[in-house]
Amino acid sequence: MGFSFIVVTNQSGIARGIYNIDNYHHLNNWMINEFKKRGIDILDTFFCPHGPDDGCKCRKPKPGMLISAMEKHSIDRDNSWMIGDKEVDITAARESGIYKTILVRSGHDIDETLTKASFVINSIEDIKEIIY
């Protein structure tokens, strides 16, 4: 469909000492290769290694990582989608000027009366019903 995929992820486990940046990069490279095996190219990944109380500008729900991605790749906000599994993803998208958003339940309980997402779906497989 002509979309590029960028992963934007909070990784507070680094700040909490659960794993380190090398561990994150190892897993991230594995993920990218798994997608590639299935014909999906990930253009880029952005991660925040900070904890929730660190006060950084990159950790979602703040829009820092999304803004960095938009600047680096000249992304058209009006034709972009944010797909996430938490409300912080939707908030970060909206604060960065991306208003087409999909919240995936992925086993989470979501109060649809409170979400700012454009769509709420049960599984990432349901995206094809929305974006075509």
Domain boundaries, the chain: 5-129
Q: pLDDT averaged over the chain? A: 95
Residues 24-64: tens digit of each pLDDT: 999 999 999 999 999 999 999 999 999 999 999 999 999 99
Cα(63)–Cα(49) distance, integer angstroms: 15
User: Is the Cβ–Cβ distance between 103 and 117 less than 8 Å?
Assistant: yes
Q: Does domain 5-129 have CATH number 3.40.50.1000?
A: yes
User: Is the Cβ–Cβ distance between 102 and 117 less than 8 Å?
Assistant: yes
pLDDT of residue 107: 76
